Amino acid sequence: MGGDPPPKPPTPPLLRHIASFDERISLHIHTLTTPLAPKLLLRLLEHLADFRFFFPVTLSLFFATPSSSPLRSHLLLPLILCSLLDLILIGLVKSLARRSRPAYATNNDYNAVVSLDNFSFPSGHSSRVSFIASIFFLSRAPIAGAIAGPNHPHLVTLVHRWIGGDEVLAVNLLVAAVWSWALTTVVSRVVLGRHYILDVLFGACFGVLEALITLRLLQYRALI
């Protein structure tokens, strides 16, 4: 039929062996962790890292933040642009790789928006949380400047009350918390059975690369 996708080309033997090993190890991890993992927490992590939640929240924060705040130009804008880049890049790679999701886990509680979401490689959740954490890490100085500036008096009060006014320490704690969330989310994709290990590893690498590209493009734009 005219609407059917083209047949998937044969996989080279080396890639078949790598994929088979990846599937066995991923199944072993999933089997061991499923009885112990808090399913409610894993689902919460899944929803927090979903594009349908993250993008509108970030967009709302962007428009609610004063234009003079470093948070708007150095944190929220890169997050928005990187979200769009990630959506395009991960969708393109998924359409080319077309790796099926693991068959051993129940995926009927995962609501795919488009047909590409049914493919497993690479993990979009892993790329998303990785570029978020990378942008937070690479934007530490602007975030500290925003905390110390006049645009966010509530943040200033909070930092002075709980961390003695040390903006650098506050930002480092924030970045550590974001990275902890990101790494936990990446691992949770394998535990939930949504992805194989290679899916999340490559997804995380894509996310870091996307963050670097986005920030470099914004720096270049600021120079011209």
CA 12 to mean position of chain CA atoms: 30
| Count of structural domains, the chain | 1
- Is 7 among the domain residues? no
Distance of alpha carbon 7 from alpha carbon 5, whole angstroms: 6
Task: Count CB neighbours of 133 within 10 A.
Answer: 25
Q: Spot the catalytic one: 17, 125, 152, 154.
A: 125
Distance of alpha carbon 101 from alpha carbon 107, whole angstroms: 9
DSSP label at residue 73:
I
Q: What is the pLDDT of residue 17?
A: 85
Q: What is the pLDDT of residues 83-110, one digit of tens each?
A: 999 999 999 999 998 998 998 876 556 6
Q: What is the pLDDT of residue 71?
A: 87
- Is 1 among the domain residues? no
Q: pTM value?
A: 0.86
- Is the pLDDT at 147 greater than 80? The verdict is no
Task: Count CB neighbours of 7 within 10 A.
Answer: 6
* Burial of residue 64 (number of CB atoms within 10 Å: 0-12, 13-18, 19+): exposed
Q: CB neighbours of 107 closer than 8 A, spacing ≥ 6?
A: 101, 193, 194
Percent pLDDT > 90 in the chain is 51
Higher pLDDT, 96 or 166: 96
Look up tokens 């937070």; give the residue.
136
- Is 161 among the domain residues? yes
Mean pLDDT of 184-192: 94
Asked whether the beta carbons of 22 and 197 are under 8 A apart, the reply is yes
Mean pLDDT of 148-161: 69
Residue 114 tokens, joined = 């488009």
- Is 55 among the domain residues? yes
Distance of alpha carbon 224 from alpha carbon 167, whole angstroms: 31
- Is the pLDDT at 32 greater than 80? The verdict is yes
- Is 108 among the domain residues? yes
Distance of alpha carbon 78 from alpha carbon 182, whole angstroms: 17
Distance of alpha carbon 106 from alpha carbon 44, whole angstroms: 17
Distance of alpha carbon 158 from alpha carbon 155, whole angstroms: 5
Percent pLDDT > 70 in the chain is 84
Q: What is the pLDDT of residues 106-119, one digit of tens each?
A: 655 666 666 778 88
Domain that holds residue 212: 13-223
- Is the pLDDT at 9 greater than 70? The verdict is no
Asked whether the beta carbons of 38 and 184 are under 8 A apart, the reply is no
Least confident range from 74-78, 113-117, 201-205: namely 113-117
Mean predicted lDDT score pLDDT of the chain: 86
Least confident range from 115-119, 130-134, 189-193, 213-217: namely 115-119
Q: What is the pLDDT of residue 1?
A: 45
- Is 180 among the domain residues? yes
Q: What is the pLDDT of residue 173?
A: 87
195 noted as active-site residue? yes
Q: What is the pLDDT of residue 16?
A: 79
- Is 105 among the domain residues? yes
At 78, is the pLDDT very low, low, confident or very high (cuts 50, 70, 90)? very high
In degrees and rounded to multiples of 5, residue 47 shows phi and psi of -70, -35
- Is 4 among the domain residues? no
Strand, helix or coil for residue 100: strand
125 noted as active-site residue? yes
In degrees and rounded to multiples of 5, residue 100 shows phi and psi of -70, 150
Look up tokens 């790796």; give the residue.
99
Q: Spot the catalytic one: 30, 74, 152, 195.
A: 195
